[in-house]
Structure 1
Amino acid sequence: MRNVPRTVRMRLTLLYGALFTASGVALLAITFLLVRRNAVFKVLVPCFGIKAEDCSYYQGPRVDPDMADPKRALARQQDALLHGFLVQSGIALAIMLGVSLLLGWFVAGRVLRPLRTMTTTVQHISARNVHERLAFAGPRDELKDLADTVDGLLGRLETALDAQKRFVANAAHELRTPLTLERALLEETLTDRRATIEAFRTTFERVVTISDQQGRLLESLLTLATSERGLESRVPVDLAALTERVLAARPEPAAGDPRLYPRIEPAATAGDPALVERLVANLVDNAVRYNVPGGSVDVVTGTRDGQAVVSVSNTGPVVPPEQVARLLEPFQRLDRTARGDGHHGLGLSIAHAIALAHGGTLSALPRQDGGLVVQAAFPAELGLGEADRSVRLERGTAA
């Protein structure tokens, strides 16, 4: 029995047979009880040794006139009839059970045929042909819903694979560029027989700067991968306290640098304090970096429509509306020519991934006079007051 394949078709067939057997047994039991209770056998028994006025038709089986006890004979014959009824009904039930198993096997095969087709199609889908779909044509039933669900899953998988391929290609390109530059600098210095100590020092300083940029890139990639994986635990987080910490850690703006104008109000949520702080820092850094001389950056926190919100808007170059969604993807910048600034276009994509990992959203809207308004919204958490927000924040940071 262990080698018998327990397929869905076999289980359905056995289920049909079991249901038929149970219903057949119940029907036979009810019929038997009704027959036993209400059955009356009318037979004509000759009157022997009985007066003419007392002779009548006797209700019972035809018995031998010599039998001394007609009632006992009647009971015996009635039992024999009921026994014959049960035997014949049992034979009929066994025959119909076999028929029901065959019909159940056929019906189960017809019902499961679309599933077998879907299974075969899915088994042939791989990373090379993930664009294929089941495209199940049929009535709107459970099987149609299942096929549409699988097609939707394949569509999301195709999108994720395409995004991963682009991400890997961009990451490899971003990492290959500084490595190529480092090698070129070192070879140029080594092949120059007239190179002085000062030339070597200048080359090494440039190599160190490039290495620092690579380290920041790897750290950004690690943060992006961590945030896309999701959160393992959540602790209370106050966006207002985190934003104040980020702004306090920034250096004093020099002449001509954009000015920060914070409007901080309580905004309680739950999540990973380190990741949320990185999100706020990325938004502020991005707003300051892509700005105009003498521009401004507005940083606002608060609670709106049941969500904890941090909004960063800046002055800056005009951003085409059709390019805004692209800025949330990794390695995407409006100005792709400035590749030596040490920035790789990961700021907004990391912030976007962190917001999604917290069950929130990140939206970006272009301003008519230039610049962007970037807003991150998180599910609000009630009960985080002004008095204990710093204590909870420290606990979350320590965790």
Structure 2
Amino acid sequence: MRKVPRTVRMRLTLLYGTLFTVSGAVLLAITFLLVQRNAVFKVRVPCFDKAAEDCAFRLPGTPLESADSVRAWREQQTQTQAQEFLVQAGIALAIMLVVSLLLGWFVAGRVLRPLRTMTTTVQHISARNVHERLALTGPRDELKDLADTVDGLLGRLETALDAQKRFVANAAHELRTPLTLERALLEETLTERRPTLEAFRATFERILTISDQQGSLLESLLTLAISERGLDGRAPVDLAALTEQVLATRPETPAGGPEPPAGGPRLYPRIAPAATAGDPALVERLVANLVDNAIRYNVPGGSVDVATGTRDGQAVVSVSNTGPVVPPEQVARLLEPFQRLDRSARGDGHHGLGLSIAHAIAIAHGGTLSAVPRQDGGLVVQAAFPAADS
């Protein structure tokens, strides 16, 4: 097997040397051809005729020869000088080849020095010091672009790791709270001297409620993980049909009357065709989360506007509700997992995953999810997906 050098520096050095050798040999051949063609080699012809005026030098005691013999002697001398020229030029080419290899090794080292620096820095970066950057200085060239690209990648990794740490911490807290409450309920029941059947029943009912909340939390976490992983396949999705299905299952939807039941918020659907492609189950979950959030975080006698349609080449579903005033600087935080406007609200069975799941589903479908606070309270949340091809 042919042995290939493993280092880029050695390969560049051999490449420089090969290019110099080939170009030197070609230059030598062209020079030799030009020399022969223009008769640069001058041969001093001995003079056999005393009367000759173009005599270069005289060989004493040389007999007179014919013109043919003089021509043959001239050609022999020319060939001898040409061979000496080739030998001397070859020696010079060999010397310069060694010099070119040394210079190539040096130049390759200088060119690859920033790359070695970047490699060393990246090797020392881990989860503990992912905040470090290459910060390569110098002119804007390919190596500078590569360093900036790696710095951008490290920045995105740092953001993802921070989000993962916050997610794990929040998830652990959300799961630990109901477990602690379950243990406290069981210990309270067991420490009673004479527990009654009603006490056991009440404790078990509360534990069942807490278990249902834990199951809902785990299901939400699984949906969030699936959404962030991406889609395995795409199928035609009709946002209008999915939104109608979601609204039909909500008890707050008025059934033949203008007033919503139990004083809940009034729903105002404006459904228009909106076709896209993706996972129908995930898109339905997105619409359900937006509608549930709009209903849950509302005011008595409030309203919820649900609209679908196609705008600017995108399939859009928009949900707007009345509710508490949301500060604009808090909107971005609400799209993160386990984030709610009222952080003190605990034990209500809601974990602040509705908007974060909707956001992850929209991103997985190549769309966007935006939230804008209303001046008189509430939010306008809009999910936009790439429209399906006609």
TM-score (ref. length: structure 1): 0.89
**CA distance in 1: counterparts of 2:280 and 2:320, whole angstroms:** 22
Unmatched 5+ stretches in structure 2: 254-260
**CA distance in 1: counterparts of 2:221 and 2:315, whole angstroms:** 26
Residue 314 (structure 2) pairs with residue 307 (structure 1): yes
Query: What's the offset of the Cα at 1:250?
Result: 2.1
Equivalent residue letter for 1:345 = G
Residue 326 (structure 2) pairs with residue 319 (structure 1): yes
Describe how 1:197-236 pairs up with structure 2 within 5 A.
197-236=197-236
**CA distance in 2: counterparts of 1:158 and 1:124, whole angstroms:** 15
The 1:58/1:282 distance shift into structure 2, 3 A limit, reads: farther
The partner residue of 1:333 within 329, 340, 343 is 340
Residue 371 (structure 2) pairs with residue 370 (structure 1): no
**CA distance in 2: counterparts of 1:143 and 1:65, whole angstroms:** 76
Aligned residues of 1:42 and 1:58 also touching (Cα < 8 A):
no
Q: Secondary structure at the match of 1:365?
A: strand
Q: Secondary structure at the match of 1:226?
A: helix
Aligned to 2:126: 126
Give the superposed CA RMSD: 2.2
Which stretch of the first structure deviates more once superposed, 333-342 or 294-303? 333-342
Aligned to 2:358: 351
Aligned to 2:10: 10
**CA distance in 2: counterparts of 1:22 and 1:179, whole angstroms:** 78
Aligned residues of 2:227 and 2:364 also touching (Cα < 8 A):
yes
The partner residue of 1:267 within 274, 278, 283 is 274
- Summarize deviations over 1:56-115 as a string: whole Å, max 9, x none: 6489xx999557633333332222222222111111111001000001111111111111
Equivalent residue letter for 2:353 = L
- Summarize deviations over 1:235-289 as a string: whole Å, max 9, x none: 2222112111211222355221112111111112121111111111100110010
- Summarize deviations over 1:16-50 as a string: whole Å, max 9, x none: 111111111111111122122222535344254x9
TM-score (ref. length: structure 2): 0.91
Query: What's the offset of the Cα at 1:215?
Result: 0.6
**CA distance in 1: counterparts of 2:307 and 2:63, whole angstroms:** 111
Aligned to 1:46: 47
Aligned to 2:257: none
Query: What's the offset of the Cα at 1:227?
Result: 0.8
Which stretch of the first structure deviates more once superposed, 240-249 or 355-364? 240-249
**CA distance in 2: counterparts of 1:225 and 1:58, whole angstroms:** 101
Unmatched 5+ stretches in structure 1: 384-399
Aligned residues of 2:43 and 2:78 also touching (Cα < 8 A):
no
Aligned to 1:246: 246
The 1:208/1:86 distance shift into structure 2, 3 A limit, reads: same
**CA distance in 2: counterparts of 1:192 and 1:64, whole angstroms:** 145
**CA distance in 1: counterparts of 2:252 and 2:289, whole angstroms:** 17
Query: What's the offset of the Cα at 1:322?
Result: 1.0
Which stretch of the first structure deviates more once superposed, 204-213 or 242-251? 242-251
